[in-house]
Amino acid sequence: MIDKINQLKKEIESLTASKAEEIEALRIKYLSKKGEISALFNDFRNVAAESKREVGQLLNELKNNATEKINALREALSDAADENNGIDLTRTAYPQPLGTRHPLSIVRDEICDIFARLGFSIAEGPEVEDDWHVFSSLNFAEDHPARDMQDTFFIQRSPDVLLRTHTSSVQTRVMEHTQPPIRIICPGRVYRNEAISARAHCFFHQIEGLYVDKNVTFADLKQALLFFAKEMFGSDTKIRLRPSYFPFTEPSAEMDISCNLCGGKGCSFCKHTGWVEILGCGMVDPNVLEACGIDSKIYTGYALGMGIERITNLKYQVKDLRLFSENDQRFLEEFQAAH
């Protein structure tokens, strides 16, 4: 009997449990009416009279120890629950829905990455600008229509403070304080005073490219543009350059790519021409280099500018420009797989 009591004593001392049900099972095992300790009390009457005193004491001690142990286990469990505010940290978590990147950010980064592979680095400038950086330094005539109230948002007149109408202003900002070689790509938001519709908005996004060094030629420009078009729209893409006019480039051109929807065969998107226009470009006008303090007898350069919305439309066929700024989650979630 004494051996059995000592064995149970040891067993009970080393009990552990991490759940309320486990503790209850232990209580039943040892302390309930049919439990092991009660069984010993039942056997007590068979103990020889001279041992009764000693065994009785040991039995009572065992019962007290077991009761204390069960209470201690219960307390430890409720402390642990308090620590975690009653939350079961072992449960699996609910899945968190992930956000998606904005299609314009995806396309902007893709364009910048392609030019980065050609050695271009990113430059940025302010959206609130002055006349010099947006117009005068870029060879715009005093009476150029782009300066008109109808196109430009003016914040203040004389001296003019305005919202930039293109990212070409960043060209000037960089050239003013950097001598060539300059090879930059400038993404940013621009503003024009236009009525908002599916095809026009009062703000949109552009990327400007500029490369100025000794011996930069139109052939370098064409090579960079072809590389860009193939990387962006696929290796079968063809380009064509049409003569155009911009005040800050001479000669100037507009670039078309073979329509990436019909492969150049002609469809409603390319108005059955097989070509779609994607950017403006040209050789930097010597007047612009000189206005920024760069010697046009030593250096030449090329520049290019494109609308990010336009490129995004071509890649993802977004029919309405307004979708880009409405933050409709159903639209944004369509680009989940795009990055």
* Least spacing, CB of residue 114 vs ligand DAH, in Å: 17
For ligand DAH, the closer CB: 37 or 304 = 304
Chain residue whose CB lies nearest ligand DAH: 305
- Structure tokens belonging to residue 2: 């004494």
Distance from C-alpha of 41 to C-alpha of 203, rounded to nearest angstrom: 89
- The nearer residue to ligand DAH, 70 or 152, going by C-beta atoms, is 152
Least distance from ligand DAH to the Cβ atom of residue 279, Å: 7
Spatial neighbors of 160 by CB under 8 A, at least 6 apart, are 130, 131, 154
C-beta closer to ligand DAH: residue 73 or 170: 170
CB 300 within 8 Å of CB 216: yes
Q: Distance (Å, rounded) from C-alpha 65 to C-alpha 61? A: 6
Instruction: Give me the least distance between CB of 87 and ligand DAH, in Å please.
Output: 56
Give kind and range of the element (H or E) at residue 128. Answer: strand 128-130
- Give the nearer residue to ligand DAH in terms of CB position, either 69 or 166: 166
Smallest gap from residue 246 Cβ to ligand DAH (A): 4
Give the nearer residue to ligand DAH in terms of CB position, either 233 or 248.
248
In the complex, what is the shortest distance from the CB of residue 98 to ligand DAH, in angstroms, rounded to a whole number? Answer: 35
CB of 289 to ligand DAH, least distance (A): 13
d(CA 249, CA 286) in angstroms, rounded, equals 8
Helix/strand/coil percent split, the chain, to 5: 45, 20, 35
Q: How far apart, in whole angstroms, are the C-alpha atoms of residue 111 and residue 41?
A: 86
Three-state secondary-structure class, residue 260:
coil
Nearest approach in angstroms of CB 169 to ligand DAH is 9
Cβ 337 to ligand DAH shortest distance, Å:
31
Residues whose CB is less than 8 angstroms from the CB of residue 69 and which lie 6 or more positions away in sequence, other chains included: 12, 13, 15
Over its C-alpha atoms, the chain yields an Rg (Å, rounded) of 40
Nearest to ligand DAH of 152, 168 (CB atom)? 168
Q: Phi-psi bin for 252: left (phi > 0), alpha (psi -120 to 50), beta?
A: beta
Q: Of 264 and 305, which CB lies nearer to ligand DAH in the complex structure?
A: 305
Q: Which residues of 180-197 are buried (b: 16+ CB within 10 A; e: fewer)?
A: bebbbbbbbebbbeeeee
> In the complex, which residues of this chain contact ligand DAH (CB under 6 A)?
166, 168, 208, 246, 249, 280-282, 303-305
Residue with Cβ nearer ligand DAH (160 or 254): 254
